[in-house]
Structure 1
Amino acid sequence: MVVSGGLLVTGSTLITRYTGSIDADGSLIGGPAAGAPRTHPGDLRGPLNILLAGIDPRDDHTAPRSDSIIVAHIPAGMDQVYLFSVPRDLYVDIPAFAPTGFAGGKSKINAAMSYGSSVGDGRHDVKQGFQLLAKTVTQLTGIPAFDAGAIINFGGFKNIVEAMGGVTMRIDMRVKSEHLQPDGTPRHRRASCADNSCSHPYIGPQKSYRPGTYHLQAWEALDYVRQRYGLPNSDYDRQRHQQQFIKAMAKEVMSKGVITSPARMTKILGSAGDALTFDGNGHSVLDWGLALKGLNTDNMVSIKLSGGGLYDGNRYVGEKLAPGSDEFFTAVREDRIQAFLLAHPEFVNKDA
């Protein structure tokens, strides 16, 4: 018996054994409990829905908020992926959640993790918060349950991209960084904003991204997909850029054979440490990798869920989705997105 790179090898049998929180034993989406018998990768059959949440790094004394919420839908054929983002400021009904005593109510959807995360003594558990986020997205979309879920904070995101050697992706518009200078160092802050009371506290030269295809370093990719200030459609443009990044990373994984190499996949995912939490509903990350090795990344489709501001009188309360979104969610549940998009091409992100 040999332990190597997070893998336990005994005889000719390979059993995944991740440390940290990469395999969360059903703690995100309510799958099989720890110790449940493992199922075979071949049991993973489409259609499948995966819920992804991106959060800012924070300690367990700070309530988490999901800055990015993305659903990946894999049709029955298992050769394609549709990606759609849920606007983080979408004003929704958040269901009651017994573990924290939350009675339910209306709020921006990115607060769902916060309402679900409290575990007492002023501490917060992002995995428990994700459970309420999943319930909220289920209530919004009608997707009965998610087949996998993942949380990654942006520090872990950077480590994964570094382990991959960067990522090649197409930039579709001019973007200026709110946070970084051209060399990647932080921009200076106004002295008057030391108390964090300013919306835009930074001054000085800005890192700029121009349209074209580039191989981005990890810090550049992270910086690019976090920007929304100054973009024509603000967070909606940022959602598209995040979907473009996922597609670009999937291409890197497929082209470099990572998805079929347990050792390489373990090394790359292990670089994220506790910054990545994955719940595969009884299947490991490697099981999912093997099941999805036939995906054609050129056929990954980025979906645009348009919306606009929702107001209570003159007070902005959040975002609302445009008409037709409910019909799209029905198409997701019934695994007929392709037919829906043929009839409604305006839902496809042309620049992705």
Structure 2
Amino acid sequence: MRVSKTNNKIKLLIRQAYGFRDAETMIHIVILYCSYLKIPLPNQGTRRGSFFSDDIGLCRDLPLHAYARRTEFICNSSCISAIVNKGMGKRAVDGFVPRRQLPEVSVEGLERSPSGNGVRRHVATSGANHTGLPKPLSSPAPSRAAQRASTAGRSDRADIDASLQEIGNLSDLDVSPTPSGRRRRDKKSHKPISRRRKIIKRGIIAFILIIVLTAGWFAYRALMASKSVFKGDLFGLVQQKPLKQDANGRSNILILGTSEDDEGHEAGYLTDSMMVLSIDQNKKNAYMVSVPRDLYVKYGRACDAGYAGKINVYFNCVNNDWKSDSAEDERQKETRSFVGEILGMDLQYSVHVNYSVMRDLVSAIGGIKVNIESRDPRGVMDSNFDWKCGTTRAERQERCPRGHYISYPNGEVELDAEHALYLAMARGDIAPTYGFEQSNFDREKNQQKIMMAIREKALSTGTLTDFSKVTKLVEAIGANLRTNFETGEVRTLVSLMQSIKQDEIKSVSLVDANPAILTTGTVGGASAVVPVAGTYNYSGLQAYIKKHIYATAITREEPRVVVLNGSGIAGAAQAEATKLEALDISVNTVGNAPSGQTYSSNKIYRVGEKVKSATEEKLKSLYHTNISPGNELSGVVYNANTDYVIIITKAQSSKTSN
């Protein structure tokens, strides 16, 4: 109770002296004053600490926790009197210079308690002087005090700010603190920041701001481009959803290329490029299959070409609205279903690009390198694009140094954006030309090579770390590509393209199949590609794709065997051949083992030059025998592409029959 009354008395004295109704503000000023005089403060863990100065002898028994919590404030009468009176003086050393003339204040009735731990109230008698207290100051007249109190609420807090500012300018004050039981370090005076440091600081802030704004601009452009390409909202770009899969765990993407962006291109709506990219997210491999644009099919609907014709017509046959997004979605959806049925594949995704996307992508990454592999020793040449050479001699020498715009020797060549575009279009349909004997088939192979080269360059370190190139890539895609990929699947797709190694991306050629599954012919008076099994019969095509794309370790080795019957039981070899075919092991020949020889167990002879480890492990587990070298086999005739000869005994035939 005594402490509370004492604090109220102190607050009243401060309010009378300085004209502030908020005594808490002056309490803060008192503490700042003691700090400026370098009077040591107590540790935060203690409730009290002794504060005094050799020269001033002011604050003592001031609890730090009281300041921190803004609760009780205890100070002796000498402290308050000295601080209040200094605040009234002219240029006092503490820097508190009031803006108004204030009366001096007496702290009559306050003195230290004998214990030194607090204050106690003392009723003063007339003319008495108390030991330990300074000479009492003359108190202001009551009327003046009342006037001060009535105007206290209108006092401007700028008085405090100005006084505190003046404290910072008193650099010549030298007040040494008295040790209080432990060694304390003086606080260093605050020095003003130099002009040079200000300039450096502002420069760093400006530099960081430029980086942030630049990164934000690139991100904005990328997001706007991706919004026009992918399905879903922009927040999906931070996700990494797994791609949709078929029953065999593969994600299949149909890529459609048109020339509708080229106004002068005749029939630019045709999908002259059709390719399937099949990705295994777990095994990290990919296969590319080019679909012949001239493959003859039944449309199942009325098209400009009729009810049947080349497959490259179907995309525009669905609808010919090239401006509506909903029409684009419909074309892609119907084409995925149509092509998937022919190939025997579940196509979950589709991508529609025009020829400009290839040119813009190559331009954005600064060119590519492509390996030319022609059957002609001269390489490849197509004179159909010689109009790009120019009209003057100087232009021709610069643009067509080999005499033609598309003319390259075999081996690795560097291509800029324009040459990459026209190589992807070249098929040798106008003489003179060479290296394009298979016309569209050669063009499809070159398109696959260009795609692989773009991927390799785009994933290179120099490209992905170059903001300008990345932005150009995104903008090129945004202007020339439409797909049903969702934004949440983009990061997954990019991650797969980075993690799949180059040698794990394989090309499946439908025209190089052995035995052949496709051939060329004339249907309805026009040249077309048809299955060997017959027009509209795609069973052989589907089996070939399944064998390669959904390959196991054995199917990748493509083993070929000869099965001979050494058991003497009719049909034993054919039964084994059927079982081996079901395991994707091709059987070239089925027959009888050489007569005059007796076989006590099954025999497997390696007659091919290459060891096919997965196939050998499977054969050894089936027939419980080791692999013998081919030079131990005699009296057996087999084809040059045969890898193994298997001789079945009676024991094996009985197991088979069971």
TM-score w.r.t. the length of structure 2 is 0.41
1:310 aligns with 2:515: no
Distance in 1 between residues matched to 2:547 and 2:220, nearest whole Å: 41
1:319 aligns with 2:523: no
SS of residue paired to 1:180: helix
Q: 1:137 to 1:263 in 2, by over 3 A?
A: farther
Q: 1:36 to 1:22 in 2, by over 3 A?
A: closer
SS of residue paired to 1:4: helix
Which structure is higher in strand share?
1
Amino acid at match of 2:457: E
SS of residue paired to 2:224: coil
1:48 aligns with 2:251: yes
Distance in 2 between residues matched to 1:84 and 1:4, nearest whole Å: 39
1:1-352 correspondence runs (5 A): 4-5=216-217, 7=219, 17-19=223-225, 22-25=228-231, 34=232, 38=236, 40-44=239-243, 47-58=250-261, 64-96=269-301, 105-119=307-321, 126-146=328-348, 148-173=349-374, 174-181=379-386, 184-185=388-389, 205-207=403-405, 208-229=407-428, 230=433, 231-256=436-461, 258=463, 265-281=470-486, 283-306=488-511, 307-312=518-523, 315-316=525-526, 318-322=528-532, 324-331=540-547, 335-336=550-551, 339-343=554-558
Please report how far the alpha carbon of residue 35 of structure 1 lies from its aligned counterpart in structure 2 after TM superposition: 5.3
Q: Does the aligned pair in 1 maintain the 2:226–2:474 contact within 8 Å? A: no
Q: Does the aligned pair in 1 maintain the 2:329–2:484 contact within 8 Å? A: no
SS of residue paired to 1:336: coil
Distance in 1 between residues matched to 2:366 and 2:271, nearest whole Å: 27
SS of residue paired to 1:50: strand
Q: 1:120 to 1:209 in 2, by over 3 A?
A: closer
Please report how far the alpha carbon of residue 24 of structure 1 lies from its aligned counterpart in structure 2 after TM superposition: 3.8
Distance in 1 between residues matched to 2:439 and 2:360, nearest whole Å: 26
Please report how far the alpha carbon of residue 94 of structure 1 lies from its aligned counterpart in structure 2 after TM superposition: 2.6
Please report how far the alpha carbon of residue 122 of structure 1 lies from its aligned counterpart in structure 2 after TM superposition: 12
SS of residue paired to 1:7: helix
Please report how far the alpha carbon of residue 214 of structure 1 lies from its aligned counterpart in structure 2 after TM superposition: 1.5
Distance in 1 between residues matched to 2:268 and 2:413, nearest whole Å: 36
- TM-superposition CA deviations, 1:140-192 (whole Å, max 9, x none): 1122232x32111112210110001000110112222333339x43689xxxx
Q: Radius of gyration: which is bigger?
A: 2
Which structure is higher in helix share?
2
SS of residue paired to 2:482: strand
Distance in 2 between residues matched to 1:320 and 1:187, nearest whole Å: 42
Please report how far the alpha carbon of residue 240 of structure 1 lies from its aligned counterpart in structure 2 after TM superposition: 0.9
Distance in 1 between residues matched to 2:339 and 2:465, nearest whole Å: 31
Q: Identify the structure with bigger relative contact order (alpha carbons < 8 Å, sequence gap 6+).
A: 1
SS of residue paired to 1:43: coil
Please report how far the alpha carbon of residue 276 of structure 1 lies from its aligned counterpart in structure 2 after TM superposition: 1.8
Q: 1:259 to 1:138 in 2, by over 3 A?
A: farther
- TM-superposition CA deviations, 1:193-251 (whole Å, max 9, x none): xxxxxxxxxxxx52211111012111111111211124111111111111111111121
Q: Does the aligned pair in 2 maintain the 1:177–1:223 contact within 8 Å? A: no
TM-score w.r.t. the length of structure 1 is 0.73
Please report how far the alpha carbon of residue 267 of structure 1 lies from its aligned counterpart in structure 2 after TM superposition: 3.3
Q: Does the aligned pair in 2 maintain the 1:54–1:68 contact within 8 Å? A: yes
Q: Does the aligned pair in 2 maintain the 1:95–1:136 contact within 8 Å? A: no
Distance in 2 between residues matched to 1:24 and 1:122, nearest whole Å: 15
Amino acid at match of 1:228: R
Which stretch shifts more, 44-53 or 167-176?
44-53
Q: Does the aligned pair in 1 maintain the 2:261–2:355 contact within 8 Å? A: no
Q: Percent identity?
A: 20
SS of residue paired to 2:500: coil
Q: Does the aligned pair in 2 maintain the 1:22–1:279 contact within 8 Å? A: no
Query: Structure 1: which 5+ residue stretches go unaligned?
Result: 10-15, 26-33, 189-204, 346-352
Q: 1:284 to 1:326 in 2, by over 3 A?
A: closer
Q: Does the aligned pair in 2 maintain the 1:66–1:88 contact within 8 Å? A: yes
Q: Does the aligned pair in 1 maintain the 2:257–2:352 contact within 8 Å? A: yes
Amino acid at match of 1:211: N
- TM-superposition CA deviations, 1:23-44 (whole Å, max 9, x none): 242xxxxxxxx45984932523
- Counting matched residue pairs gives 309
Please report how far the alpha carbon of residue 269 of structure 1 lies from its aligned counterpart in structure 2 after TM superposition: 2.5
Distance in 2 between residues matched to 1:123 and 1:250, nearest whole Å: 27
Q: Does the aligned pair in 2 maintain the 1:156–1:272 contact within 8 Å? A: yes
Q: 1:67 to 1:248 in 2, by over 3 A?
A: same
Which stretch shifts more, 47-56 or 260-269?
260-269
Amino acid at match of 1:224: L
